[in-house]
Amino acid sequence: MDRKKNRWKYGIWSAFVTILGVLLAVILVWVAERATERFGLKFDLTANDRYAISEQSVSWLKKLDQDVKITVLVNEEDMATGSYYIVQAYQNLLEYERNSDRITLEFVDITENPTFVSKYPDLELGAYDIILESGEQKEVLSFQDLYDYDTTGSSITASRVEQKVTGALMSVTSQEKTRIMVLDGYQDTEPSSLTTLLEGNQYEIIRRSLLTEELDENASAAILFAPQNDLEEDSIRKISAWLDNDGKQGRNLFVFLDPNTGTLLNLEAFLEEWGLDAEEGYAFEARSGLYYNQIYYPVAQYAEKNFATGMSEKDITVLALCRPVDVLFEEKDGYETQVLLDFSESSGKVTLDQEKVTEDMITGDVKGMVKSAHHFYGSEVTTSNVVLSGSSLAFNGTLVSGTTFANGRYILGVFDQLTGNETSLHIPEKDLSAANHTMTAARTTTYSWMFLAGLPAVILVAGVVIWVRRRHR
């Protein structure tokens, strides 16, 4: 009798524990859902935090002191349950509102509300476009510009959502931008990745032809990117006069060379006046671990630490296909030179006509980026700078836009220091090339019911079965 009574008590206790466990599981799921809705509680478990925004953006948002309205031209439900790429953009946008009381995020379906676009007669708007407004300032982000694509243009490889949105926020809340001129006219390569980086960090990009136009007097910096032909003397005079600025100076010229173009006599003579030398051929790195894929993609050393603020040994800058450059003197006639990037003791240089690298070519004194400052000592000291990079490839394409290397962060730091721009945030793109699990609306509903009802039911049934079996044992 006592044995039967003990079995009954044990069964009741087992049933109680089972029911209690089920109730606790339901309560835990309910609390988690309410916390997510109320406090934005969530965890991004992806490898590169693709659904979150970086600490840089969050820190900037905490200091935001102006109201900004972000309007996305699509139904919110469509964006929340769309393709993986759309959902990634949606989650990033939610982060801005979560991290700042100054941000208002709205969704407008222009297929259901077609008159909405009439409020912006000066803007060309389409579905999924993003409008950012602060006061009278407006900026539009086209959805296709939020991503990088493969060479066919048919597949998305990386997301620039955070990069573009944070940059646009800075733009509409900024009173003034630093202006940079891209100089062309000599079959120059278009530095699209570099200008995209600069535009996303509060720089205004304009273009001027050295052959047909006067240089902009309001630009604080100019870029001469991989000219394929030598500059005419008149173009050299334009650049020199612009740098002098009637003795006021305060300007910066960035020259990026393509080693395949060979000698550019007039341009090189101009650089020599500033104490900068451009040699022929390629820089290489002989030691394994100090180059990327091939010896002509050497890893640069940060020779001038002032221009590598915040950079560590883990932040790798690769000067791909780099023409060796050097300084001709340290100080002379008001000019002062510096080496910004050089290579290790196992580096060397090979001329264009040499077919293979031999050990005697290793000199250990090769440089990749140099700078010259000209000081004018009048009633006050004024300075203009010329920066010479032996590699244009290092600052265009994925080497500057991707996350693998620090090329973008480094060159942005050089621009910021020389121009005095204090508002830059280098936010790299996020790699989306890896396969990912996409949650559709139907799948989300199914999983929710599985955890809210299915799992507790299974636990309850299992508890009852165990209790019945033990009772009749």
pLDDT band at 158 (very low <50, low <70, confident <90, very high): confident
User: Rounded mean pLDDT of 203-232?
Assistant: 96
Express as a percent the part of the chain with pLDDT over 70.
80
The CA-based angle 95-100-105, given to 5 degrees, is 60
Judge contact between 376 and 317, C-beta under 8 A.
Answer: no
What residue type is assigned to position 4 of the chain? K
What residue type is assigned to position 361 of the chain? M
Is residue 195 classed as helix, strand or coil in its secondary structure?
helix
pLDDT band at 290 (very low <50, low <70, confident <90, very high): very high
Measure the CA–CA gap between 127 and 108, rounded to whole angstroms. Answer: 9
* Bridge partner residues of 209 (DSSP): 184
Please report which helix (H) or strand (E) contains residue 383, including its range.
strand 381-389
- Higher-scoring residue by pLDDT: 43, 61: 61
Measured CA to CA in angstroms, residue 348 lies from 213, 338, 362 at distances of 40, 20, 4
Measure the CA–CA gap between 229 and 257, rounded to whole angstroms. Answer: 11
Q: What is the longest distance spanned by two Cα atoms in the chain?
A: 114
User: String of b and e for 144-164 (b: at least 16 CB within 10 Å)?
Assistant: eebbbeeeeeeebebbbbbbb
pLDDT at 453 over 70: no
Mean pLDDT for the chain overall: 85
Measure the CA–CA gap between 212 and 33, rounded to whole angstroms. Answer: 63
Is residue 366 classed as helix, strand or coil in its secondary structure?
coil
Closest CA to 46 of 439, 444, 442, 431: 431
Stretch among 13-17, 75-79, 91-95, 402-406 having the lowest mean pLDDT:
13-17
Tell me, yes or no, if the pTM score tops 0.85: no
Closest CA to 188 of 254, 275, 245, 283: 254
Could you read off the pLDDT of 351-387 as tens digits, one per residue?
A: 877 778 888 899 999 999 999 999 988 778 899 999 9
pLDDT band at 401 (very low <50, low <70, confident <90, very high): confident
Other Cβ atoms within 10 Å of 331 Cβ, number: 11
Measured CA to CA in angstroms, residue 352 lies from 286, 322, 344, 446 at distances of 17, 12, 21, 64
Helix axes 265-273, 233-244, angle to 10 degrees: 30
The position carrying tokens 């044990």 is 10
Q: What is the DSSP letter of 38?
A: H
Judge contact between 185 and 149, C-beta under 8 A.
Answer: no
Measure the CA–CA gap between 32 and 34, rounded to whole angstroms. Answer: 6
Q: Is 9 left (phi over 0), alpha (psi -120 to 50) or beta?
A: alpha
Burial of 232 (0-12, 13-18, 19+ CB in 10 A): middle
Please report which helix (H) or strand (E) contains residue 332, including its range.
strand 331-332
Please report which helix (H) or strand (E) contains residue 25, including its range.
helix 2-39
Measure the CA–CA gap between 387 and 381, rounded to whole angstroms. Answer: 20
Is residue 453 classed as helix, strand or coil in its secondary structure?
helix
Query: Given this model, what pLDDT does residue 148 score?
Result: 78
Query: Given this model, what pLDDT does residue 432 score?
Result: 77
Query: Given this model, what pLDDT does residue 351 score?
Result: 84
Measure the CA–CA gap between 258 and 280, rounded to whole angstroms. Answer: 10
Could you read off the pLDDT of 100-114 as tens digits, one per residue?
A: 999 999 999 998 998
Query: Given this model, what pLDDT does residue 470 score?
Result: 61
pLDDT at 165 over 80: yes
pLDDT band at 37 (very low <50, low <70, confident <90, very high): low
Judge contact between 322 and 294, C-beta under 8 A.
Answer: no
